[in-house]
């Protein structure tokens, strides 16, 4: 034993546990020693634990305001936004605000007092804003009443600012911290009035994130970092052909390797090596002789999948997402039909943090420390895999190192629980390799689209038939959403109304879908089906503008005359890029718009193409999410969404050979880096009256705006992504 | 026993020679701030300083590191007071999920040690770490902000 290196490990974030108001998952500060001694994992009760004012708010005697966050934070910043909304109605001092995470078992025990914790569909803020604001307002009301009772005065004579309560007639003051102890027992008013957003002083402001500090010094404990005394590490490998099974493995061949404790069958398709460290488990797993039964999909390839999906472009289908007039009849009689086929490949979420979770199973109880986007579903999955009632299970949720939809599915938690169940009493951290993460993803579905349209004598679109063919996410991952005719999610951005409404009026319109499901397992990937639908339609609208001999913006204005909110963001993006003035020599521009997840978004891109090399110089993105809770976080989400969307456009492609995904790591699944990052200028135009999402919508306009600019620069229409496969040299 | 010098302290660990430095740091020394992202030196989440040079520790066998070579991890960077890069990152709220940021900070601090006044192009060329949240714009601004702080 020698001296300790500098170590500042602290808990991964405060959290609420069943035992009260506790701080920390456990990696206690400064306790690291060498060898295999691990920091304590048992939560330690916070000093001076304070009673809660209500489910959302705890105020300590030292005036620290702890706001409970039920939705999951995975980088999107909603943790801070939700705290702002509570703090706004609470009228507390923002500088005193801290956060605490809610665990799903606690939520269940308290009758779902925190509502749903599921975090997806850009719903964290818009789906919770009403009840979290009411929570803040109710806490304010009982705190004021507690102060008034203490003074023996009417509550109506008391006011509060930044957590300091004043009895106006006598100018006496007290604080939230001083009265919080008695406020919790007061019954809150049946109804509270929420502030007009125009009067907000905390919400709506670009305040700093609450969850930054421990991300900068290495002390935030993510799922892969979790450690417990006596913990083992399991590394799994599933049949690389989805749907195949595990036939046999030769555990004896690796039993003597360093650190190896167990080689386990996890389920019908998965084996895992359990060792004292990840590296030793992975090394043994790589050496483990495994025989797979690859099953009926062993010969499937990208080519066979493409043919299967292509067949759906012309097949009969009953599943219609939007229909007006008689598109097929009009096209049959049209003098000229403009037609194009587009395609979008499989994508992997590839979050920086691979899947991991730590589980301790005993015959009485199952405890999990791990990240998930769906805490309630995760608890149900753990309960099922543990063979224990949900009331005997607990999940300590964690902030996540990126997720983008991958952890909307609970397969890895089931797997981790099944492993730990075979090693009773021993905490086991299951951790995937990047390769496993790439092969066993839940992929952005593959689709193709055939668009056919005709123009009338004035050059306006008189008919459009948009046929989408391809994979359903819902039938695999969310079967409850399926209708008798199909998966309604496939029409995102194309529906007649609602939160994903089409922004064009076309007199004869048919948008339909033929479901074709290859064996590759799909999942919701940031932006979901809005991504390819916006590419298909926005690029094709550009093709129609070109055929009509019109400017792409002017052409859209005509189609969008009945859709002022869609048009407003498009105009803002176009103005931002300087659409009305020609670009510098060698530069070209493109635009795109869509509505998704309740928000109206548009983008304008300026690019150049020299010697076949694309350079994206500028992006102007405009978004109308109704209300903006934190402009700085909206800016971060919108800017970041372009990296995600443009990475897919430039490089993203998971191909299939011999039934398995071919790309196993970032060397073959490339993503955008800093050197390619364009300047992204973010315009927010919150028009009020509705609440839209922010994390996803703008991804969908990234690729079509750039692809339309690529056409303007080169005359080449890119209809099959990714762009890396396309020669942009102008011959 | 393998001897290493981590964050100024001498460390002895019992590991196989081919164990990548990353896993020695994370699993044997117990410093989990340095992240695993890819295992093939592509993403930079595992970046540490080796004798002051930004080094991807996931593909570097521990046997290739000498006992006196100075290994600095994120836990040893901002000691006793935060590094200007960490301060700049806090000021500009660079992090989103934060997972890649420790590697970003290690890469940025090593860059600034070599080049106190990097141009945008220098930063774009030198910081090749992957961030899936897409913080690149703020990373660029953060490096420049830190450079200004360091120049005083």
**pLDDT tens digits, residue range A458-474?**
999 999 999 999 999 99
B122 vs A contacts (CB less than 8 Å): none
Centre a 10 Å sphere on the Cβ of residue A611 and count the other Cβ atoms it contains: 7
pLDDT at B92: 98
CB-nearest to B136 from A77, A227, A674 is A674
- pLDDT tens for the 152 residues of chain B, in order: 999 999 999 999 999 999 999 999 999 999 999 999 999 999 999 999 999 999 999 999 999 999 999 999 999 999 999 999 999 999 999 999 999 999 999 999 999 999 999 999 999 999 999 999 999 999 999 999 999 999 87
The closest alpha carbon to A604, from A596, A614, A593, A615, belongs to: A593
Strand boundaries in A117-157, DSSP class E: none
Q: Tens of pLDDT along A197-226?
A: 999 999 999 999 999 999 999 999 999 999
Helix runs in chain B, H state only: 21-23, 74-77, 84-91, 101-114, 120-126, 136-151
Handedness of CA A52, A8, A372, A428 (dihedral sign): negative
Q: Tens of pLDDT along A536-589?
A: 999 999 999 999 999 999 999 999 999 999 999 999 999 999 999 999 999 999
Whether B2-77 and B84-151 share one fold: the answer is: no
Q: Tens of pLDDT along A55-98?
A: 999 999 999 999 999 999 999 999 999 999 999 999 999 999 99
Report the b/e string of A323-353 with b at 16+ CB within 10 A.
Answer: eeeebeebbeebeeebebbbbbbbbbbbbbb
Query: In chain A, what are the domains?
Result: 50-215 (3.30.365.10), 223-294+355-431 (3.30.365.10), 302-347+443-725 (3.30.365.10)
Residue A51 pLDDT grade (very low, low, confident, very high; cuts 50, 70, 90):
confident
Class for the domain spanning B2-77: alpha beta
Helix runs in A422-498, H state only: 434-439, 474-477
B127 touches chain A (CB under 8 A): yes
Centre a 10 Å sphere on the Cβ of residue A267 and count the other Cβ atoms it contains: 17
Kindly report the length of chain B: 152
CB A601 within 8 A of CB A634: no
CB-nearest to A217 from B38, B86, B134 is B86
CA distance B129 to chain A (A): 7
CA distance B131 to chain A (A): 7
Q: What is chain A's mean pLDDT, rounded?
A: 93
CB-nearest to A665 from B6, B42, B131 is B42
Question: How far is the C-alpha of A597 from the C-alpha of A350, rounded, in Å?
Answer: 22
- Rg (C-alpha) for chain B, rounded Å, is 15
CB B45 within 8 A of CB A19: no
Estimate the crossing angle of helix B84-91 against helix B101-114, to 10 degrees: 130
Q: Tens of pLDDT along A320-352?
A: 999 999 999 999 999 999 999 999 999 999 999
Q: Tens of pLDDT along A408-438?
A: 999 999 999 999 999 999 999 999 999 999 9
Question: How far is the C-alpha of A389 from the C-alpha of B22, rounded, in Å?
Answer: 39
Residue of A nearest to B58 (CA): A279
- Largest Cα–Cα separation, chain A: 87
Residue A46 pLDDT grade (very low, low, confident, very high; cuts 50, 70, 90):
very low
On whether the B84-151 domain is CATH 1.10.150.120, my answer is yes
Which of B30, B40, B77 should be substituted to probe chain A, the one whose Cβ sees the most A Cβ atoms within 10 Å?
Answer: B30
B93 vs A contacts (CB less than 8 Å): 208-209, 212, 632, 636
Which of B2, B6, B8, B32 should be substituted to probe chain A, the one whose Cβ sees the most A Cβ atoms within 10 Å?
Answer: B32
B89 touches chain A (CB under 8 A): yes
Hey, are the CB atoms on B132 and A643 less than 8 Å from each other?
yes
B92 vs A contacts (CB less than 8 Å): none
CA distance A38 to chain B (A): 8
Q: Where are the domains of chain B?
A: 2-77, 84-151
HEC string of A220-238 equals CCCHHHCCCCCCEEEEEEE
CB B28 within 8 A of CB A34: yes
Which of A7, A621, A682 should be substituted to probe chain B, the one whose Cβ sees the most B Cβ atoms within 10 Å?
Answer: A7
CA distance B2 to chain A (A): 12
B78 vs A contacts (CB less than 8 Å): 216-217
Question: In DSSP terms, which residues pair with A239 in a beta bridge?
Answer: none
Percent of chain B with pLDDT over 70: 100
**ipTM, two decimals:** 0.98
Which of A28, A41, A216 should be substituted to probe chain B, the one whose Cβ sees the most B Cβ atoms within 10 Å?
Answer: A216
Decide which of A17 and A560 is more confident. Answer: A560
B141 touches chain A (CB under 8 A): no
B17 vs A contacts (CB less than 8 Å): none
Hey, are the CB atoms on B75 and A353 less than 8 Å from each other?
no
Q: Tens of pLDDT along A677-724?
A: 999 999 999 999 999 999 999 999 999 999 999 999 999 999 999 999
Tokens of A723: 């762009």
pLDDT at B152: 79
């Amino acid at each position: 034993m020698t001296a300790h290196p500098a170590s500042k490990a602290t808990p991964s974030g405060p959290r609420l546990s069943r035992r009260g108001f506790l701080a920390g998952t456990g990696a206690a500060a400064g306790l690291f020693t060498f060898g295999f001694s691990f920091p304590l994992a048992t939560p330690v009760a916070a000093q001076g634990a304070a009673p809660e004012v209500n489910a959302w708010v705890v105020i300590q005697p030292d005036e620290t305001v702890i706001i409970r966050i039920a939705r999951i934070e995975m980088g999107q910043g909603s943790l801070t936004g939700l705290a702002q909304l509570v703090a706004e109605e609470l009228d507390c001092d923002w500088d005193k605000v801290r956060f605490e995470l809610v665990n799903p078992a606690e939520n269940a025990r308290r009758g779902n007092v925190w509502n749903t914790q599921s975090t997806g569909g850009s719903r964290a803020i818009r789906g919770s804003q009403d009840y979290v604001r009411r929570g803040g307002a109710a806490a304010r009301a009982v705190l004021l009443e507690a102060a008034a009772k203490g003074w023996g005065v009417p509550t109506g004579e008391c006011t509060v600012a930044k957590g300091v309560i004043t009895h106006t007639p006598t100018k006496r003051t007290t604080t939230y911290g001083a009265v919080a102890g008695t406020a919790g027992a007061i019954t809150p008013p049946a109804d509270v009035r929420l502030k007009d957003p125009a009067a907000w002083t905390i919400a709506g402001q670009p305040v700093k994130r609450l969850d930054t500090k421990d991300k900068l010094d290495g002390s935030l404990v993510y799922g892969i970092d979790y450690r417990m005394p006596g913990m083992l590490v399991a590394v799994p490998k599933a049949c690389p052909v989805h749907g195949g099974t595990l036939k046999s493995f030769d555990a004896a061949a690796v039993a003597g390797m360093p650190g190896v404790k167990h080689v386990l069958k996890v389920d019908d398709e998965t084996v895992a090596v359990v060792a004292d460290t990840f590296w030793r488990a992975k090394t043994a797993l790589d050496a483990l002789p495994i025989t797979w039964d690859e099953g009926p999909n062993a010969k499937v390839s990208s080519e066979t999948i493409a043919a299967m999906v292509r067949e759906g472009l012309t097949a009969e289908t009953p599943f219609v997402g939007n229909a007006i007039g008689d598109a097929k009849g009009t096209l049959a009689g049209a003098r000229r039909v403009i037609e194009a086929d587009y395609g979008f490949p499989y994508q992997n979420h590839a979050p920086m943090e691979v899947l991991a979770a730590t589980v301790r199973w005993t015959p009485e109880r199952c405890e999990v420390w791990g990240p998930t986007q769906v805490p309630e579903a995760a608890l149900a999955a753990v309960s099922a895999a543990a063979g224990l009632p949900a009331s005997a299970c607990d999940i300590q949720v964690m902030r996540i190192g990126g997720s983008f939809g991958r952890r909307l599915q609970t397969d890895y938690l089931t797997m981790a629980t099944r492993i730990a169940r075979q090693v009773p009493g021993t905490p086991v951290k299951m951790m995937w390799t990047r390769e496993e993460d790439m092969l066993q993803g839940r992929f952005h579905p593959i689709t193709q689209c055939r668009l056919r349209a005709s123009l009338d004598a004035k050059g306006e679109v008189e008919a459009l038939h948009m046929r989408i063919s391809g994979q359903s996410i819902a039938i695999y991952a969310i079967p409850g959403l399926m209708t008798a005719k199909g998966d309604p999610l496939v029409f995102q951005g194309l529906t007649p109304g609602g939160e994903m409404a089409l922004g064009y009026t076309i007199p004869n319109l048919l948008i339909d879908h033929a479901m074709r499901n290859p064996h590759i397992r799909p999942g919701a990937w940031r932006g979901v089906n809005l991504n390819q639908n916006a590419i298909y339609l926005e690029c094709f609208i550009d093709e129609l503008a070109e055929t009509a001999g019109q400017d792409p913006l002017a052409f859209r204005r005509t189609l969008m005359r009945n859709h002022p909110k869609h048009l407003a963001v498009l105009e803002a993006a176009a103005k931002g890029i300087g659409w009305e003035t020609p670009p510098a020599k060698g530069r070209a521009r493109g635009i795109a718009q869509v509505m998704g997840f309740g928000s109206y978004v548009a983008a304008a891109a300026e690019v150049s193409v020299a010697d076949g090399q694309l350079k994206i110089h500028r992006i102007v993105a405009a978004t109308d999410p109704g209300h903006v809770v934190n402009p700085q976080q909206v800016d971060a989400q919108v800017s970041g969404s372009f990296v995600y969307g443009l990475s897919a456009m430039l490089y993203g492609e998971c191909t299939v050979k011999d039934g398995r995904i071919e790309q196993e790591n970032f060397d073959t699944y490339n993503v955008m880096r800093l050197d390619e990052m364009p300047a992204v200028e973010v315009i927010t135009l919150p028009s009020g009256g509705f609440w839209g999402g922010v994390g996803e919508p703008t991804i969908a306009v990234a690729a079509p705006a750039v692809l339309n600019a690529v056409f303007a620069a080169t005359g080449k229409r890119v209809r099959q992504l990714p762009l890396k496969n396309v020669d942009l040299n102008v011959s | 026993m393998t001897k290493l010098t981590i964050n100024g302290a001498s460390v002895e660990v019992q590991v196989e020679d081919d164990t990548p430095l990353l896993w020695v740091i994370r699993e044997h020394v117990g410093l989990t701030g340095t992240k695993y992202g890819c295992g093939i030196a592509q993403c930079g989440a595992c970046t540490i300083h080796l004798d002051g040079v930004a080094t991807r520790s996931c593909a570097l066998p521990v046997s290739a590191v000498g006992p006196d070579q100075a290994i600095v991890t994120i836990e040893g960077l901002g000691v006793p007071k935060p590094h200007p890069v960490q301060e700049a990152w806090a000021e500009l709220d660079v992090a989103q999920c934060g997972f890649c940021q420790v590697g970003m900070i290690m890469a940025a601090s090593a860059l600034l040690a070599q080049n106190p006044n990097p141009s945008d192009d220098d930063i774009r060329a030198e910081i090749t770490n992957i961030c899936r949240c897409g913080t690149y714009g703020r990373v660029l601004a953060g490096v420049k902000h830190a450079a200004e702080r360091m120049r005083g």
